[in-house]
């Protein structure tokens, strides 16, 4: 379904700001699986998602998605296969346009856009139906500018927009991180429903250990641009928050060791 | 009364310019100075064709097409070559100055011969009213001026409806989204750069259409006629927004037209009261400056008052 073969990316190569963001990531994701990606700040988890979405081209490695080698496809072309929800609720919607118009845009994801009326009666009916399932009372406000809604409402709508046409892959980039706990719970509930209903193949980046434990059928923990730990099958099901914290502590110690080793070597040889 | 009719007509003709600026400035947030060149281009193409005896409708549409091409070039400079939006506009505007001189063959083309929509209006006026002057609310006005105004009004209404329709289609909503939130619409599979090019083409097409009509109305095309037009359009758009707000697409389009007409009326009154025509551009620039700065200052005042 989704296969990453040793993808690498260095930003600003050859300058003082050089960042080796992805240092050879390989991943195999079967149809219908739900992968949770954990990791500290700067571990490359969001970069990995952006590499798959095509925000930038990778330096080396290949990306295969739903039978297509998409490594060299531009972002807008990959969008035909990928639905996305971003961390920032402002990123996923066009604020000055109405809820209905935002959905009209999403309803043509990856398809040609012609001179047909965007808000067809068919779309409006389906929209009222699907939005009312969110139970947020938004179905009566479809003509309102989407910018007037709260972050939680916007994320729930973005999720609905991203899956309006069933995507081959759903990318969730810390999509509850900017929300208050109550809205975050609500958006997570909607997320689970949507994924279950459409049997979506999903990649979710999160900061929340609790989400990592509760959601998904597999998980990876990233560190310094590569995959440090993988959890699958029964191991993933048994995973607890404490296990994850222990692994994080492990990585932190290893990092310290790296530094002290470097200092030791420097003192000894230079 | 004749003055009023004239101001209304020019205001309506220039409302196409305002609509073009609305697209580049409000939809895409670009101050597109290509406009100064493309309005002249529209006028030049139209004038030359009319002198050659081409039907005025065809000549006007040719002017529109010229604007489309100019906007496309600016768009490509921005989107494909990643040139700063302002600089891309300046480059194309500067280049267009020479292009316009080549099109016209000299710096001024008078429309003494050939059929223009003004001469068509004159004959239609003769036919409908049977005499050269008409009684309008107690004022005697020339039938030609009245029919010209009505014809322009009809054209503007059609243009507005077409634009409104376009911006509600799948294509048009995607174009608005490309200006509103490029990241979002790219994630929905839209090639934002291509839509930007199309948007600038459409904007400059409308501006050139305005130029083509203006040339016919004033009876000549001139290489200098575009100077400061982008500021003129900005002023119209800003006035329009304060009149109608920008809550909905329909209101914004209506606002641009109303703002253009109102601004032209204000200018006509100011000139009547003795404003030196040489100062007109300076006054327009100061007006746009004030309109850009005043809201910020008022807000700072309000915050200071609250603190």
Q: Give the residue-averaged pLDDT of B263-280.
A: 90
C-alpha span between B235 and B237 (Å, rounded): 6
The single residue listed with the structure tokens 């434990």 is: A213
Q: Which residue of B has its CA nearest to A100?
A: B173
Cα B111 to Cα B122, B124, B264: the distances in Å are: 15, 19, 24
Confidence at A165, pLDDT banded by 50, 70, 90? very high
The CB-side HSE value for A264 (13 A sphere, CA atoms) comes to 6
**Residue A101 to residue B189, Cβ atoms within 8 A:** no
Q: Mutate one of A92, A95, A96, A109 to test the B interface: name it (highest B CB count within 10 A).
A: A96
Q: For residue A98, what are the β-bridge partners?
A: A145
Task: Using an 8 Å CB-CB cutoff, list chain B residues near A90.
Answer: 181
Confidence at A49, pLDDT banded by 50, 70, 90? very high
Q: For residue A203, what are the β-bridge partners?
A: A35, A171
Which pLDDT value is given to residue A81? 96
Does residue A258 have a pLDDT over 80? no
Which helix (H) or strand (E) segment holds residue A34: the answer is: strand A34-39
Query: Model pTM?
Result: 0.89
Which pLDDT value is given to residue B307? 67
What are the pLDDT digits (tens) for B113-148?
778 888 888 888 888 887 777 777 777 888 888 889
What are the pLDDT digits (tens) for B197-231?
999 999 999 999 999 999 999 999 999 999 999 99
What are the pLDDT digits (tens) for B289-299?
888 888 778 88
**Residue B187 to residue A116, Cβ atoms within 8 A:** no
What are the pLDDT digits (tens) for B160-195?
999 999 999 999 999 999 999 999 999 999 999 999
C-alpha span between B127 and B132 (Å, rounded): 10
R_g of chain B computed on alpha carbons: 20
DSSP track, B133-163: EEEETTEEEEHHHHHHHHHHHHHHHHHHHHH
Confidence at A136, pLDDT banded by 50, 70, 90? confident
| Residue A224: strand, helix, or coil | coil
C-alpha span between A179 and A187 (Å, rounded): 9
Tell me the ipTM for this assembly: 0.88
Task: Using an 8 Å CB-CB cutoff, list chain B residues near A165.
Answer: none
Does B245 contact A at CB distance below 8 Å? Answer: no
Q: Residues in chain A whose beta carbon is closer than 8 A to a beta carbon of chain B?
A: 53, 74-77, 79-80, 82, 84, 86, 90-97, 101-102, 104-106, 108-111, 113-119, 145, 161-162
| Residue B1: strand, helix, or coil | coil
């Amino acid at each position: 379904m989704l296969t990453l073969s040793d993808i690498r990316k260095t930003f600003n190569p050859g300058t003082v700001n050089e960042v080796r963001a992805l240092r050879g990531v390989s991943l195999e994701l079967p149809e219908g699986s739900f992968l949770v990606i954990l990791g500290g700040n700067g571990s490359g988890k969001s970069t990995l998602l952006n590499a798959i979405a095509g925000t930038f081209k990778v330096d080396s490695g290949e990306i295969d998605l739903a039978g297509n080698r998409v490594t060299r496809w531009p972002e807008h072309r990959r969008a035909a296969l990928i639905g996305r929800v971003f961390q920032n609720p402002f990123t996923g919607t066009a604020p000055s346009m109405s809820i209905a118009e935002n959905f009209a845009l999403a309803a043509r994801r990856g398809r040609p856009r012609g001179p047909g009326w965007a808000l067809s009666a068919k779309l409006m009916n389906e929209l009222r139906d699907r939005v009312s399932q969110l139970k947020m009372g938004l179905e009566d406000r479809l003509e309102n500018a989407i910018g007037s809604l709260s972050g939680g409402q916007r994320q729930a709508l973005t999720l609905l927009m991203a899956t309006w046409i069933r995507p081959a892959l759903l990318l969730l980039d810390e999509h509850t991180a900017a929300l208050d706990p109550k809205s975050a719970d609500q958006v997570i509930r909607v997320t689970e429903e949507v994924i279950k209903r459409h049997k979506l193949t999903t990649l979710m980046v999160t900061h929340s250990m609790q989400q990592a434990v509760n959601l998904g059928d597999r998980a990876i923990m990233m560190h310094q641009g590569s995959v440090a730990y993988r959890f699958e099958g029964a191991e993933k099901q048994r995973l607890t928050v404490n296990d994850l914290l222990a692994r994080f502590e492990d990585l932190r110690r290893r990092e310290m060791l790296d530094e002290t080793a470097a200092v030791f070597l420097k003192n000894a040889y230079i | 009364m004749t003055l009023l009719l004239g101001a209304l007509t020019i205001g309506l003709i220039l409302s196409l310019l305002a609509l073009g600026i609305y697209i580049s400035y409000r939809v895409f947030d670009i101050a597109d100075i290509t406009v100064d060149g493309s309005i002249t281009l529209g006028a030049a193409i139209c004038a030359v064709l009319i002198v050659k005896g081409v039907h005025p409708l065809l000549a006007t549409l040719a002017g529109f097409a010229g604007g489309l091409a100019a906007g496309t070039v600016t768009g490509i400079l921005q989107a494909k070559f990643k040139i700063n939006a302002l600089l891309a506009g300046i480059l194309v505007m500067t280049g267009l100055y020479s292009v316009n001189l080549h099109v016209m063959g000299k710096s001024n083309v008078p429309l003494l011969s050939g059929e223009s929509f003004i001469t068509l209006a004159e004959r239609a006026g003769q036919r409908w009213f049977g005499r050269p002057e008409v009684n309008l609310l107690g004022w005697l006005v020339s039938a030609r001026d009245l029919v010209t105004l009505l014809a322009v009004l009809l054209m503007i209404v059609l243009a507005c409806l077409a634009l409104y329709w376009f911006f509600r289609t799948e294509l048009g909503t995607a174009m608005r989204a490309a200006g509103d939130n490029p990241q979002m619409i790219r994630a929905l599979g839209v090639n934002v750069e291509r839509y930007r090019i199309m948007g600038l083409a459409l904007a400059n097409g409308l501006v050139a259409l305005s130029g083509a009509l203006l040339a016919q109305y004033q009876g000549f095309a001139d290489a200098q006629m575009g100077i400061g037009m982008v500021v003129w359009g900005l002023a119209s758009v800003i006035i329009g927004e304060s009149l109608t707000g920008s809550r909905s697409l329909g209101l914004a389009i209506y606002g641009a037209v109303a703002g253009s007409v109102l601004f032209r009326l204000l200018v006509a009154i100011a000139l009547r009261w003795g404003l030196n025509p040489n100062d007109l551009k300076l006054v327009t620039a100061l007006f746009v400056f004030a309109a850009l700065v005043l809201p910020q200052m008022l807000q700072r005042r309000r915050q200071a008052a609250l603190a």
